[in-house]
Amino acid sequence: MTNAYLGVDIGSISTKGVIIDDNNNILASSYLWTKGNPVDAVKEVLCELKSKVNNVKIIGVGTTGSARKLIGTMLGANIIKNEITAHAVGTMSIYPNIRTIIEIGGQDSKIILIRNGIVIDYAMNTLCAAGTGAFLSSQAKRLDVDVEEFGSIALTSSNPTPIAARCTVFAESDLVHKAQMGHAKNDIIAGLCKSVALNYLNNVAKGKKIEKPIIFQGGVSKNIGVVKAFENILNTKIITDPNGHLMGALGVAILSKSGKNINFSFDITESKFNTNSVYCGKCPNNCEIICVRKDNTLIDSWGNRCERGYDKVINIKK
């Protein structure tokens, strides 16, 4: 029986999972859409991972991403970490000399600056979907093109159409206007790819010193049109990795190795999990307390600012 470690990265658009060995080799991986239900998405990921491994014993579980607390409770994780730490650790396990991480996902994006193996600065954009995977997907539908084809189509253009992409609403209006003016579809698509890169650099990376080597991660890194746009603007080669979308899951799996060993079972997929919120009401704060239940048994809660909220949850449990 081989000791192994599970890492799960739960985002708003996609859920990623990996199982690694003691040497950080990826034994199995899974990438599925979250579909607004992180609990069911994680169950699907676990089922797929289980089908890809044999004779392994999971002794460490880590979670990261927007639903890391909920899923960490569900899985009995021994480590729960933010995306910045998870992505940095995962990336440096493969690229120890990396200096800048560009990450653009479905609905958010981030930049991580690393010096001598330490994160020295970072920034995230979660206020607007402009310049993210969701933005590109919506424009692909408008243009009646599969988003997976965006990159290859963009590379056929020699004259990208300028698209104002600092706001999704303005970008869509500008795109329609340019199409009505007669701009070729491949030029518009190339312009969208370039606008994503410019939007990122002018907002998320504003004021940051981007140094080489640079790696581009997240679902948008699969779009070769956006990769090329970054390379043209920054005038340097951008590293991409086939497992770039898994770096958060890989990083938190590695981090779980430093926690106390646990005895994880894939049978967790057979359990029923649900959450609900209660309001304390014992002071003006009126804290919203999130309660997580496994098979109708309360297993965790959070959100209370003081013991009075905790007391209310205990009463519910009873």
pLDDT in tens, 238-262: 999 999 989 999 999 999 999 899 9
Domains 2-90+249-270 and 96-240 are alike in CATH topology: yes
Tell me which CATH homologous superfamily contains domain 2-90+249-270: ATPase, nucleotide binding domain (3.30.420.40)
pLDDT tens-digit readout, 261-277: 999 999 999 999 988 88
Percentage with pLDDT > 90 across the chain: 58
According to the 3-state scheme, what is the secondary structure of the chain? Answer: CEEEEEEEEECCCEEEEEEECCCCCEEEEEEEECCCCHHHHHHHHHHHHHHHCCCEEEEEEEEEECCHHHHHHHHCCCEECCHHHHHHHHHHHHCCCCCEEEEECCCCEEEEEEECCEEEEEEEECCCCCCCHHHHHHHHHHHCCCHHHHHHHHCCCCCCCCCCCCCHHHHHHHHHHHHHCCCCHHHHHHHHHHHHHHHHHHCCCCCCCCCCCEEEECHHHHCHHHHHHHHHHHCCCCECCCCHHHHHHHHHHHHHCCCCCCCCCHHHHHCCEEEEEEECCCCCCCCEEEEEEECCEEEEEECCCCHHHHHHHHHHHC
What's the CATH number for 96-240?
3.30.420.40
Structural domain spans, the chain: 2-90+249-270, 96-240, 273-317
Instruction: Please state the rounded mean pLDDT for residues 103-117.
Output: 89
- The predicted pLDDT at position 318 comes to 45
State the pTM of this model.
0.86
pLDDT band with cut points at 50, 70 and 90 for residue 301: confident
